Structure formats: structure tokens, C-alpha cells
Amino acid sequence: MATPPISSRAASLGTENAFVVLAEVNELIAQGRDVISFCIGQPDFPAPVHVQRAGIEAIETGLHGYTPSAGISELRTAAASYMGKMRGLEIEPDDVVVGAGAKPFIAYAIQSTTDYGVGDEVIYPVPGFPIYESQITALGAVPVPLYLRESRNFAFDPDELAAKITDRTRMLILNSPQNPTGGLLSKKDLEAIAAVLREHPQVWIYADEIYSRLVFDGQFQSIAAEPGMLERTIISDGASKTWAMTGWRIGFVANKSLAPLMTKWVTNTDSCASHISQWAAVAAISGPQNDATMMRKTFLARRDLITGLLNNIPGIECQASGGAFYAWPNVTEVCAATGCADSEEFRQRLLHEAGVAVLADIHFGHRVPDDGQHIRFSYATSDENIEKGVARIAEFVQKNSA
């Protein structure tokens, strides 16, 4: 018997293709295939031992019931001080809301600033984290892509931003350091963006700064530190990438006027983030930072390793990423040389013929016009995997080039 219909909203929901490709990779591995995966964006380290212990202690001392929806005051206080210090700002604990990862706040922010189906617009980076476009669409707002350009080290042109803002623009999503390109918004970029936004006081900013501790070139810079921007910026950060805590599910946002609303969204969805994980996050923020420092250093060394190796392959051009743990090489020439119609065919052939799993640019929105074809590597994997994986690609390219 046919089931009742689903909503058009649900039908419009996109996905994060890293998870889809990962399922494909896992199936191949289950069939006995040898695949080196560069797909998943999570540190390949355990959470620091003192963080693990804090979680265990929370369980053993009975700290595992519901918490206030905004989070335990110890974590809000620690996160406020941490986020403030990182950005040279004063952030009050009351302005901070804790969630089950940073991801849910993307939807909460869109829902808090746009109405369904009335033409409210949200500007977001392309290529970008696929959840932005998926949630903008599913929540009935209008997605307005803002293109990141290779010629600008994967930042966007502030004039292009200015041209895309209309009376209906409600929010601008920024992400720096960036997934998937590893690009950074420089101080100069942020000043230019702030100058544009001062002309448009109706626009909120969602500053996705989940990779704030993984900056390789210069200091981390936040749009919230630009004059007049703090009040209108939802700063988003979290534990996943900095302390290798992806599965613990702890993220936090800061914004004075939206904090009560964000808290209500949490009450309406998860009730609260995991109580156990919240205590672990207090330990992560307040405890020793050796592991976080070591991970950043390791990612930087791997960035240099993978960038050098990729640039040795004819037809592949890779800029050194400024942050996060992603390489985003231009593969336009190598696609042509190996007879692949595009980056997606190249990705599929790498997976099936070379045993290397990467993501293609189409997994991060439609391709930027006139910017060629790209694939994404997460280099949150060992040196050995990087060397072996890129050698397999080099061999594939050599064998298949005309």
C-alpha cells in the first residue's frame, strides 16, 4: 500500500555528500577493496585524555541528567571567555548558547532571521559546507550564492557581495577558515565586508568559525571584531575540530540579542546538548592545550606534504590552504588529460580504479563559473596515507594520460 505523501519541504532537503561518499567507500572496504580515504572532515586523533576523563567523571558522579537548554553555566562561562579571547572581544556567559555541535545552529540562525516562503534571502559561500544551502532551501528562504575565487585564495570579492545584497537579504553566512577550500578571510577582506554591511543594517552575519584554531597563515581574524559587527554577528565555534571531539557533539554560539531565541530552539529540538559532553568540553577549553597545539602543528606539516605531492602531478595545481585541514586542488587539466568529463568522473575513477576516495566540487554546491574543476582532500589522515594515496593518483594519471 502506498504511504501518505511527504512534505515538499522534506523533499527539498539536501545532504552532506561526505557522508554519502563515505557510505560508498565503506561498502567497497567491506567488499575487501583497499581504499585510502580523504573524505571525512574530522581529526584523526582521539580527544585529549583529560577530556575523556572529564566525561567519565561526569558519568560516575551522576552529572548526566538534563541541563538548562543554553548549557551548564560552567561551559557558557568558559566558552564566553574562550571565544572572547580568541577574537579580542568581551563576550558575556549569558550571550552564549551550547548545542549538540555547531551544525544545529546553522538552521536555528536561518529560522531566527528569515520567514518561510516570503522571499527572504540568505547569502552563502560557494563552494561551501553543503548544509548552508540545504537548510536555507528547506527552511523556505532564498539561497544566494557568493562565489569564492581561486584567484583570491578562495575569498570572495566584496564588490560581488555588495551587488548581491537586496532589501530582502536577511543573513550573510561567512566561513573562515573555510570548508572545502581551506581559504581564509584576511583582515583586509573582513574590513571590506564590514564596510559593505554597514550600508545594510538589516543583514545578520552567521560567522561559522568552527576551524578558528586551525589557522596556518597569520592570526585568526573574526568579522565580529570589526567595528559595529559584534551585535549583528552570530559567532559559531565548537569542540569538534579543535579538540578532536566530533562525536561528543558540542558547539557554541554567541550573540547577545539572539541567545534567548537560540536557547528556545534548543528547548524545542534537543532539550540540551549531552550533559556528559558539556563537562568534557569545560575540560577541553580550560585544561592543557598541548593536544590542540600538537594537532594544529601536525595538520600544518601535512598541508605542506600533501600540497607538495599534489603539485608534482602533471595537470594538478594546489594552493597551500591557509587553514582547516582541506586541500582543494584545481584538476581541470588532469581531467582533460585522463579523459574525464569533469571532477565528478575523475573522483569516481580515482575511487574505483585507484582506490582513493576524495570528494568533488559538486558536493559543495554548483561549480564557480569560470573557476575550473576541483576536488577536496581532507588531510586529517596519516603521512603514510597521504604519501600512498597521492602516489596512487600519480600512477593513475600517468597510466591514463593520452
Ligand X SMILES: Cc1ncc(COP(=O)(O)O)c(C=O)c1O
Q: Where on the chain is the footprint of ligand X (CB under 6 A)?
A: 41, 101-103, 129, 175, 179, 208, 210, 238, 240, 246, 251
In this structure, the number of other CB atoms found within 10 A of the CB of residue 275 comes to 18
| Cβ within 8 Å of residue 93, ≥6 positions away | 73, 76, 77, 79, 80
DSSP state of 147: E
Residue nearest to ligand X (CB): 101
Q: CB of 337: closest distance to ligand X in angstroms?
A: 31
Q: CB of 124: closest distance to ligand X in angstroms?
A: 11
| Cβ within 8 Å of residue 276, ≥6 positions away | 55, 58, 59, 63, 64
Nearer to ligand X, 129 or 396 (CB): 129
What is the grid cell recorded at 243?
579538540
Nearer to ligand X, 113 or 135 (CB): 135
Nearer to ligand X, 18 or 316 (CB): 18
Residue 103 and residue 167: Cα distance in Å, rounded?
A: 27
* Helix spans in 130-239 (H): 130-138, 158-164, 187-198
**Residues in a beta bridge with 365:** 363
Nearer to ligand X, 41 or 48 (CB): 41
Q: What is the dihedral of CA 30, 32, 36, 37, to 10 degrees?
A: -10
> Mapping DSSP to helix (H, G, I), strand (E, B) and coil, where does residue 229 land?
coil
Q: CB of 305: closest distance to ligand X in angstroms?
A: 22
Nearer to ligand X, 112 or 236 (CB): 236
Q: CB of 118: closest distance to ligand X in angstroms?
A: 26
Nearer to ligand X, 210 or 358 (CB): 210
Q: CB of 126: closest distance to ligand X in angstroms?
A: 13
CB 25 within 8 A of CB 361: no
Look at residues 295, 239, 269, 293 and name the one whose alpha carbon lies nearest to residue 54.
239
Q: CB of 88: closest distance to ligand X in angstroms?
A: 22
